[in-house]
Structure 1
Amino acid sequence: MTVFTHRLAQLDDLDALRALMRRSIEQLQHGFLTPEQIRASHKVMGLDTQLVHDQTYFIVEKQGSIAGCGGWSWRATLFGGDDSVVAREPAPLDPATDAARIRAMYTDPVYVRQGVGGLIMDLCEGAARARGFRRVEMMATLAGVPLYEARGYVPIEHFTPAPINGVVVPLIRMGKDLPGQPRPRYGLSKGAVGG
């Protein structure tokens, strides 16, 4: 049985995290996105170092090797990294009325289908619940949707960010109520843009 450990990311982890994210985007998006969309994804996805500063970004390791990473946030930004073209909003969310954000989930291709993503989701959801949040939302890549659906997330809307050099990278906003909370009221918006 694979034994993983976890810890909060620190600023000296940034280079290793960015390298893992590049590998993940390049290798795990095949079959979901075209080569042009994969290249454009680097300007939509990535690490928001605000999560590291906020100490809400987890690293999962096996014997000192980073197997995956992901975080959650009490800030309004739903997705986008330091180098992305996506606008970010650092305003705080209200746990009584807003959903916490699940952010920047990546698994090293070497560790796919070994429970890394599920472990990160458990850590993020538990931390958000401990801060008083009753719901969580994320902006999912098409490659991530099967994991998120298996974890109880449902589509809220298809989202199409602004094209990158004429290339559109489709995303899906997803959400769920945290365990022990009222049943989800999410559903795919009727007027949502297809992606």
Structure 2
Amino acid sequence: MALREATRADVPAIGALMRRSVLEVFPRFHDERATASAARHLTVPDTVLIDDGTYYVHEVDGEVVACGGWSRRDKLYTGSGPGASDDRPLDPATEPARVRAMFVRGDFTRRGLGRAILSRCVAAAREAGFRSLVLMATLPGEPLYRSFGFREVRRTLVPLPDGVVLEGVEMGYPLT
């Protein structure tokens, strides 16, 4: 397995992996309607992360089986829709970097791929001067983040554009 920085050429494979991951993993935590909505609205690759060099993919035999990254910009998660400050650079001295768009194919979960991506995010954000990380976890991702050391900030509801509401957990991780 190879962990590497994602490129624009990976966008179709990343999108396909995101959709497959949601369709395979979300049904363990959500009903059919929520899974279908998440597969539509949470699985759009964010090319800003790729262009910033902060998004990573795991490949097995040339196939992308896991992806995820971090951001030095204000947007917290893909499903939040466009926001006026999404592209605003964060101040590493006073604001946390964001962990974003973590997905693992269902048949590759629990093999350390998500943990390896998180470790890469921690190292890179720390090197960029950030003092902490935050993320918005969906229920399928919460166990990974907890086991990695992220702590719950608050439970919340994540509204999707079609009116479906997912349970979410805002989580934080100190880098100092």
TM-score, normalised by the number of residues in structure 1: 0.84
Q: Which residue of 1 aligns with 2:37?
A: 40
Structure 1 residue matching 2:166: 3-state secondary structure: coil
Residue deviations 1:11-43, cap 9 Å, x none?
111101100000000011112111111111135
Residue deviations 1:67-119, cap 9 Å, x none?
20101010010001xxx562241100011100000000011122111110100
Q: How many residues align?
A: 173
TM-score, normalised by the number of residues in structure 2: 0.92
Q: Which residue of 1 aligns with 2:102?
A: 105
Task: Call closer, same or farther: CA 1:163–1:48 in 2, change over 3 Å.
Answer: closer
Q: Is structure 2 residue 134 aligned with structure 1 residue 137?
A: yes
Task: Call closer, same or farther: CA 1:172–1:33 in 2, change over 3 Å.
Answer: same
Distance in structure 1 (CA, Å) of the matches to 2:146 and 2:87:
27
Q: Is structure 2 residue 8 aligned with structure 1 residue 30?
A: no
Unmatched 5+ residue regions in structure 2? none
Residue deviations 1:112-162, cap 9 Å, x none?
111101001001111101101110000101000000000111111222233
Matched to 1:54, the amino acid is D
1:79-118 aligned at under 5 Å gives the runs 79-80=77-78, 84=79, 86-88=81-83, 89-118=86-115
Q: Which residue of 1 aligns with 2:159?
A: 162
Instruction: Say which structure is richer in strand.
Output: 2
Cα RMSD (Å) of the superposition? 1.4
Instruction: Say which structure is richer in helix.
Output: 2
Q: Tell me, yes or no, if the aligned pair for 1:43 and 1:164 is still in contact at 8 Å.
A: no
Matched to 1:65, the amino acid is E
Choose which of 65, 68, 83 in structure 2 pairs with 1:67.
65
Q: Percent identity?
A: 36
